[in-house]
Structure formats: structure tokens, C-alpha cells
Structure 1
């Protein structure tokens, strides 16, 4: 088994009391995603085995010793033989298995794309009712590189990987609402990786509450420039040439800061997560989706609409949604509407002509 799957990063979590006392810290293990998958497979097999054997303790043979642990050799009705840890060691094994269940059951997966030199939001949300002061949040890579850490209501970047220095930021005013997303700035090719957001509840013990996994793709393409006028409407272009049917596509329009502009799932609008400032102002061309036109019409343009927008297209497979395409559009807003601007130009031309003619 690869060392990346097997090894874990041990992070010291402060509980309470004197910070100089090592006894006031508890170690937690950060496993890679593939390590968790393997652990889940082992857990499922072990759980079935332990359950079947626990029903046949009456057929036990004498106690044996193995690597310092008490072992009890047990035969089950199917004719298979297993070794069970006895006494408190058995319960410790069960607790270990349960902790693996907790680590894996909170796992979710989300793809995100960004452009070189720009910034991107890696999403992570928590719906529990635990106060921010009782949470520890660790952002990192499967290679155990620390992206961002938050504990006891404050950032703790003492162990942050040097290549992320001065490039990460949490949305402090949104933490109470459960938004633990991190903003990563000045994107580089080396940032393309998988990132994990691990959320822990801290009381007398450390409890893993949730794990979110984000795949970050970084591209060097330049954004498509688009211009619009205040109060008018504009089309943000996005074309998909793949052969995946609409029912198997997820299309997300949003800003590079993570604000949802428009979302289409299996050909149907899903605006439940749409940013309030875009409410009733967006529209996709439903009759052109089959031809690959995933452009969005943005109406009633405002100054605040000037931004970078990304069109992210994902295809659905049995295991979830996978990234297909990523387009970036830069929208510029000018202060005069098109009609008014033409009228002003016309008036200026007339005045210039009169001056030249001496009228």
C-alpha cells in the first residue's frame, strides 16, 4: 500500500488551560482521501466479520497472545475463523472503527475551477449548531500541506505551507452562518490539487463533524471580454461542444468569489442558491440548450455587476458530477445606456457643425 494512503498527519489541537502544558493538547490524524476509501472498505468487511463472530462467542477456544494483545479464537457457523480482541481492547477496536465511520460518512466532493493569477473560492459549509469558538477547521491537501487553519475563534497559520502564505482568507462575517469556504488568491499552476475542509467539534474530546473535498482546476486562458450599459441587458457567452445529454449536465454560472448567478440541473433551473442581487434578472436560452448554448442573459445591469463570471459545466456519472468545461467572462459596465449615448453623440455632432459653420 502506498505511503500516501497509509500515513497520516498528526495535528496538535489545544483543548483548554495552560498553552505551555503539552497535556492540554490532543492529537488528531488527518488521512488522505484515498486512505479513507480504503479504510471504509476494510471497515465494512471488518464490521460484518465482527458482527457474525459476536454471535458465536460460546464456541470460543482458549485465549492466545499476539503482539501484546489478548486474542480469542472464534469459529462462526460458516466455518470461517477470526481473531477477536477481548475485553477493553475489543471496545477500543470498536471505537476506532466508529471513528473511521465518522471520518468517511461526512465526506462530500465538489469540483471548482479558476484562472492563473485570479482568485477562487473553495466551498465548505457546516449546518451544525456548534458555536464558532468550539470548532476547529483545517483546510489542507492529501499530501498534508496545510492551506488554512482556524481554532478557538481565530486563524492559526503557524503551520501553513509556505506556498500558501498571504494567499488565503476565510469569510469571517459568514462563519456564524456556517460558511467555512476559503478564498485562495493569486492562483498558480501548482495550486491544482484536491483540498479537504475538515471540521471538528471541540469539547472534552475532539469529534470529527464533517469533511468536504474540493478538486481545484487551474487554467491559463484569458477571460472573454463583454460590455454592457447600466439598466440594459447583456449576454454572457458559454458554448458546450460535448456529446453529453442535457439530463446528465450540471451548469453553474457564478462569480469568481463564489456568488451563484444561475444554475441549471438536468435542463431545469435551480435558483435555490442564487445570490439575492441576481434574483429575477437571469435567464438561459432553453430552446438552444440542445445545441450547446449555455449562455446566460443578465438584465437590469448595475455597477456592482462588473465582475469576472465563470461558466462551469459538469457531467453526471454514477459516482457523481465530474468537471467537463470551464469558461471565464469579464463583464464591463459603462454609465450611459446605448440609446442615450447615441443621442448625446448626435447632439455633440450638431453643435460642432454649427460652430464650424458660424451659425
Structure 2
């Protein structure tokens, strides 16, 4: 009789204990996303005297606290305000999981969930890992362009970071002595006024593509001085990465070539006609009519060539 009583007492004592369970392994979560850190017990606990703490395992920083039947956000460390939340309606069922929003690079690491009740206490450890790092890709090959045309300098953010979690994207031209700011994207806004004077009103992002991680740059009316190396640098969640694009060879368009041809023809024709006219006047072997024709040609032919040169130059300004 006594032995049976002792057995029943031990069984009841053991039954009062509980086990805190967590995930089977590390949680993979991309920057900027939300993740649920599992923590639950194998039996229902009395709410009276129940306390649940979530802390960083390495530093002991308080992530969130449940005490006296309610969440205590005032106990949180500042970095976790409005980012760490209990599933309050699930706590009475033994679910003490925590949702962590807007993940940052510094959130990676281990978290300890400690549960205290009137009967017992227990804990589990949860680890957050990032499956990818911030990667920015550009053009594999250098870019050639005609002077005056519009070109695209490619840059893609290859990660699961959403645009609203990208802190800054800057395009710069890396000159020998200093970097020139081409265009800046900051706080979900393109800051065109921050561009260097030589790029104002000539550069823009493809706004409709930004949500896909496309931060390619459109450069309008390319000039010869635009040749060089351009770098796109991205900052997100405490991480940074960059990609470079080389604008290597700038060639003249066919319209520019036509302008050059007519200018050369005007100059060469004028010199040739002048030499012929001078020679004929010295030799006195040609008629006055021939000399008059040469004089008229000297006046009109170069001017006609220059007229066409100005027409083609005007077309380059309008079309390019």
C-alpha cells in the first residue's frame, strides 16, 4: 500500500514538469523578411505566474517578454521595438513562438526562449541564418556607344531583399582623382538633385523595374567625356556590395560622320579652288570666263558644303 502511494506521488511530480521545444535546426531567413522563432511546451500551463523571455543567447539582450498575462514591449531592447511580437492568442495553448519582422544582418545568431511557471522552468535555443548574401551584378562586357545616343548601364540586386529594405543605391563615375555622383536612390526615393552638374537631367532609373531589384541606369545623350568606369554600390541591412560597368569606346554616329565629311570637303575644296585660281591668274593662259567660274566656285562650293554640314549637325541635335 505504501509502495503504491510513493509510486503515484512520483508519477504526479514528474507529470508536473514540462518540456520546451523549438525547431529541429537553424532557420534560414532572407534580409528584410519576417521569420517565426518556434517555442512551445508539451502541455498547458497556468497563466498565473507564467513568464516567457526571449533573449539573444550571446549577449543576453531582451528581445521580448511575456509577464503577468500580457506582453511587455517596454522591456525590449530598442532595436526590437515594433519588430518582435508574440502570438498572444496562442500563449494560453502553450505556443510561445516569436515573430521577428524586417530582418537585419545583425539579427543573425542564436536566441533563447525561457519559460517559467509555478511548477517548473525550461528553455530552447533557436538560430537564425541567412541563406544568401547581398550580391550586385553588372555588365560582363564593356559598353560601346555612339556619341549622342542613350545607353543603359546594368545593375541587378541578386537577393531576396525587397526594395523598401534597401537603404541606398548610388551610381558613381570613378575618375582618377575623385568619384563623381551620377545618381542616388535613398529611402525609397530617387534623389535627382544630388547628381553632379554634368549628369543632371541626363540620368534616371527604370522606376517600374526597381521592385524586381533592377537598379540599371539610363544615361541619355552620351558625350565623349562620359567614357570611363561606373560603379553601382548597394547598402542593405548593414551589408554592402557593388558592381562596375565600363563605358569604353565612344564612336561618332553616321550623322556626325556626315557633318565631318562636309566640313572637310568645304575646307579641301576651298584650298583646291584657291590654288587653281592663283595658278590661272599667274599663267595668263585661260580666258576670263574660266577665271570667273573659278571665283564663283570658290564662293559657292565651300559654302554649300558648310550649309549641308549645318543641316546634319542640326539633325544630330534633334534626333540624338
TM-score between both structures, scaled by the size of structure 2: 0.34
Structure in which a larger fraction of residues adopt helix: 2
Q: Which has the higher contact order (CA 8 A, sep 6+)?
A: 2
TM-score, normalised by the number of residues in structure 1: 0.30
Which is richer in strand? 1
